[in-house]
Structure 1
Amino acid sequence: MDNTAPSTRTDFFTRKTQRNDVGELLALLNQIIESGGISALEKPLNKAEFISWFLEAEILESSVCAIDRETGEPLGFQTVSHFGDIPADWVDIGTFVKPGIQTRGIGSALFKATLAALDGKGMVAINATIRADNTGGLAYYRSCGFQDYKVLKNARLSDGTLIDKICKRYDFV
């Protein structure tokens, strides 16, 4: 099955994440993590962890990325997996877009590619858990059609900070 989704933009395209994307996507992810305040991930990953979590995990259903058409540079990626305490017919989503270009339609194109990759797999819903202080992430998932269904109060970050996390769901039916 071709996981490439058409985009309304012509300066990038989406496709299934490949092993040769790992180095650049890892750098992009670690840049997001190190900037703080927007990712549930709090500590940078190494290459082996990235591959294990976002490319080869048994619980992974899809990993797609956006690629700059001119330079070949990965601009972002999105994964869905059976991570966390969710029903078996749900998946959990993570979206990571290069800082400074979040409003170029990359996230929307990634979500279209993810939906295409999940087509026919029998999923009922997608869960997104977003830090309450990540207003951009909350707005992004809302724009994709996700609805709030639960709040995790006072989740403890690695530095001891307590923060609420908002659980949103996208229903296929």
Structure 2
Amino acid sequence: MDTSVATPTRFFIRSTQLNDANELLALLNRLIEIGGTTSMQKPMNKGEFISMFIDGDLMETSVCAIDRESGEPLGFQIAGHYKDVPAGWVEVGTFVKPGLHKSGIGSALFKATLEGLEGKGFKALNALIRADNTGGLAYYNSRGFKEYKREKAVPLDDGTPVDRVYMQFDLA
């Protein structure tokens, strides 16, 4: 399936490929290191990354934004079966290179993700966002996600309590 999405910007969207793994893994691990924009707290290795985000049994769709000039991946979005969500739902995760938020990458990734899920019979997308990730909450709200559940004061690995916000996007 070709999920390429033409954009009038400096990037284009396509299905994530195995040869993207090193650069996307570095991007994800950088976001984990910075903290605050992903619920993930521990860096991943390449095998884990490929299994979870590119070519594993949990995957439904994985798309990435590629810089038109350099060929560098600028971000990616996945939809798969990661959390304990209701039947017919899939979990979505969005990861964009620091400094490129509000550049249109997230919007283009979301459009491609929806196209990749079309016709698969899913009822809804679930997004799990830390309450201190104001940019992530704004992004999912702007896509039409609605909060349906909140877990209060879930401790991070360092003991810091942070609420977890569950957001739903209806596909039907």
Q: One-letter code of the match for 2:122?
A: M
Give the CA deviation at 1:47.
0.9
Is 1:160 the counterpart of 2:159 in the alignment? yes
1:93-108 equivalence runs, <5 A: 93-108=92-107
Quick one: distance in 2 between partners of 1:124 and 1:136?
25
Question: Identity over aligned residues, as a percent?
Answer: 59
Q: Which residue of 1 aligns with 2:37?
A: 38
Q: One-letter code of the match for 1:67?
A: I
CA displacement, residues 42-101 of structure 1 (integer Å, 9 cap, x when unaligned): 011111111111112211100000000111000000001111111221000110000001
Deviates more, 1:45-54 or 1:120-129: 45-54
Quick one: distance in 2 between partners of 1:57 and 1:161?
32
Give the CA deviation at 1:153.
1.2
Quick one: distance in 1 between partners of 2:70 and 2:120?
33
1:54-133 equivalence runs, <5 A: 54-133=53-132
Q: Which residue of 2 aligns with 1:18?
A: 17
Secondary structure of the 2:25 match is helix
Runs (5+) with no aligned partner, structure 2 = none
Q: Which residue of 1 aligns with 2:3?
A: 3
Runs (5+) with no aligned partner, structure 1 = none
Secondary structure of the 1:110 match is helix
TM-score by length of 2: 0.97
Quick one: distance in 2 between partners of 1:54 and 1:98?
16
CA displacement, residues 27-52 of structure 1 (integer Å, 9 cap, x when unaligned): 11111000011211101111111111
Quick one: distance in 2 between partners of 1:34 and 1:13?
26
Calculate the aligned-residue CA RMSD, in Å. 0.9
Secondary structure of the 1:96 match is strand
